[in-house]
Amino acid sequence: VTPKWMLNNPVSLVSTEMNTLAKNIMGLIGSGHPTLNHVTSYYFEAEGKKVRPMLVLLLSRAVSAIPIEKRNNIKIDFTDFETVPVGRDPLQKFLASKPVENFSPLQIIHGIQSMNPLTKEAAPIPEKQFDNERGILPKQRRLAEIVEMIHTASLLHDDVIDHADTRRGRPSGNVAFTNKMAVLAGDFLLGRATVSISRLKNPEVVELMSSSIANLVEGEFMQLHNVATDSGNNDLLTETTPIGKLDLRTHDYKVPVLRPPLTTTRDGMMATLTHEQQQEIINNAFRYYLHKSYLKTASLISKSCRATAILSGAQPEVIESCYNFGKNLGLCFQLVDDMLDFTVSAKELGKPSGADLKLGISTAPVLYAWKEDPSLGPLIQRHFSQQGDIQQVLKSVELHDGVGRTKKLAENYRDMALKCLRDVLPESDSRSALEFLTNSILTRRK
């Protein structure tokens, strides 16, 4: 059944694929352990936004509107990447009636994708050869599944880290199954996602998606060590670790790696600094925050957009623009997420609200308030751990319109995302749907 919100919605262009997404994922994550299956499938059973797979599918269609002469020759290989889901053997059963040669690659894929993982019954075999009339290649469809698996794995871990009690309107995985099981289930999903990534047999895509997993962890780590005191070490590119000096430079993203921002000086007397010095510290904190947001949210989105374009055989400038589309959209998405944490109730969100301040995390609305109100520095520094801190920061955010200014910034990223789409993609229903989706990020309430 098509979810209600999808009706009369341009995004319903990909509802066929979206409707089978969860079932296809189930086919990739089956294990021999019933309890593990229960935990890994838990978040897929609830109604999530599924923004990431939707982007991959719509972008696949939008790129397919570029004339084929303007794309690299794409080899549609069916047999290579669609092998038997690990841990079961449905292909055998599916093919039992006829010799393999009698099936076309598409029929085999269709058989596997439509297989019910429990009963191992497959849908009737389609007569038609694959004609790509929907503009979505099998590998892109699989990429949509992979990106949702990675995202879900990260949510299982995130809810442990954040001590969440709800997700998608239900008890979160850590509460429903214990921390240990939630962590292991996330690891398992990542493992299976990696198997599927490698089966796409495209080295560039393998590198993109694998590095996005590493980026998620880096982003989460930056958030953990949100704030540092002034150690007097101003070298931004190296960090002393127990195993020696670590070079933080990496080709993986273009912004320089930043040390956790300073919130106060060594003596805690922000007021002794000049206005310019204070603003420099706060601007650095903002850069750190945006970089963290890229890593924890935008990276997975932008890299899957890039991978989508690569799989379509798109030209380099199209690939680059698709990547930048995802990056701007991802940053917009996280800014809105951080804004909703201030404005929407837990009931509406289906997950805890006001969570960031309680976790001691400063996001854009707080950073904007801090720009006007330097007295927030010490509170940010101590992660709002003292009585009255949260109330004071809430008041300051309100007074200095932290939420409104965050919204403005999110709108800037939205506009840049829209420009990336219009720059390289021909007008099409799918491009319009992507524009619709991009715009709706700012009006969402959950």
Which residues contribute to the site for Mg ion (CB under 5 A)?
A: 158, 162
Q: Which residues contact 373 (CB under 8 A, 6 or more apart)?
A: 396, 399, 400
Residue 305 CA to residue 324 CA, distance in Å, equals 9
Question: What pairs with residue 244 in β-bridges?
Answer: 241
Residue 400 CA to residue 368 CA, distance in Å, equals 7
The nearest distance, CB 213 to ligand FPP, in angstroms, is 5
**Site of interaction with ligand FPP (CB under 6 A):** 150, 153-154, 157-158, 161-162, 164, 186, 190, 213, 216-217, 220, 296-297, 351, 355
The nearest distance, CB 346 to ligand FPP, in angstroms, is 10
The nearest distance, CB 312 to Mg ion, in angstroms, is 33
* Residue (220 or 320) nearer to Mg ion, CB: 220
Sign of CA dihedral 418, 421, 426, 430: negative
Q: Which does 153 bind (CB under 5 to 8 A by kind): Mg ion, ligand FPP, none?
A: ligand FPP
Q: Which does 190 bind (CB under 5 to 8 A by kind): Mg ion, ligand FPP, none?
A: ligand FPP
Q: Can you read off the two tokens belonging to residue 40?
A: 């890994």
* Residue (115 or 366) nearer to ligand FPP, CB: 366
Residue 279, number of CB atoms within 10 A of its CB: 13
* Residue (5 or 221) nearer to Mg ion, CB: 221
Find out whether 212 and 204 touch, Cβ atoms under 8 Å. Answer: no
Find out whether 433 and 11 touch, Cβ atoms under 8 Å. Answer: yes
Q: How far apart are the two ends of the chain, measured CA to CA in Å? A: 22
Per-position b or e across 383-416, b if 16+ CB within 10 A of its CB: bbeeeebbeebbebbeebebbebbbebbeebbeb
Q: Which does 216 bind (CB under 5 to 8 A by kind): Mg ion, ligand FPP, none?
A: ligand FPP
Q: Which does 401 bind (CB under 5 to 8 A by kind): Mg ion, ligand FPP, none?
A: none
Q: Which does 217 bind (CB under 5 to 8 A by kind): ligand FPP, Mg ion, none?
A: ligand FPP
Residue 322 CA to residue 309 CA, distance in Å, equals 7
The nearest distance, CB 158 to Mg ion, in angstroms, is 4
Q: Can you read off the two tokens belonging to residue 295?
A: 């890593």
E-only strand ranges, 56-181? 166-167, 170-171
Residue 230 CA to residue 247 CA, distance in Å, equals 20
* Residue (64 or 363) nearer to ligand FPP, CB: 363
Q: Which does 145 bind (CB under 5 to 8 A by kind): ligand FPP, Mg ion, none?
A: none
* Residue (59 or 222) nearer to Mg ion, CB: 222
* Residue (98 or 180) nearer to ligand FPP, CB: 180
The string of DSSP letters for 268-287 reads: S-GGGS-HHHHHHHHHHHHH
**Torsion of Cα atoms, 297 then 302 then 307 then 313, to 10°:** 170
Amino acid at 359: L
Q: Which does 273 bind (CB under 5 to 8 A by kind): Mg ion, ligand FPP, none?
A: none
The nearest distance, CB 101 to ligand FPP, in angstroms, is 40
Q: Which does 414 bind (CB under 5 to 8 A by kind): ligand FPP, Mg ion, none?
A: none
The nearest distance, CB 415 to ligand FPP, in angstroms, is 23
* Residue (158 or 389) nearer to Mg ion, CB: 158
The nearest distance, CB 334 to ligand FPP, in angstroms, is 8
Which H helix or E strand runs over 351?
none
* Residue (160 or 397) nearer to Mg ion, CB: 160
Q: Which does 157 bind (CB under 5 to 8 A by kind): ligand FPP, Mg ion, none?
A: ligand FPP
* Residue (71 or 163) nearer to Mg ion, CB: 163
The nearest distance, CB 124 to ligand FPP, in angstroms, is 37
The nearest distance, CB 143 to ligand FPP, in angstroms, is 16
For the chain, the residue count is 446
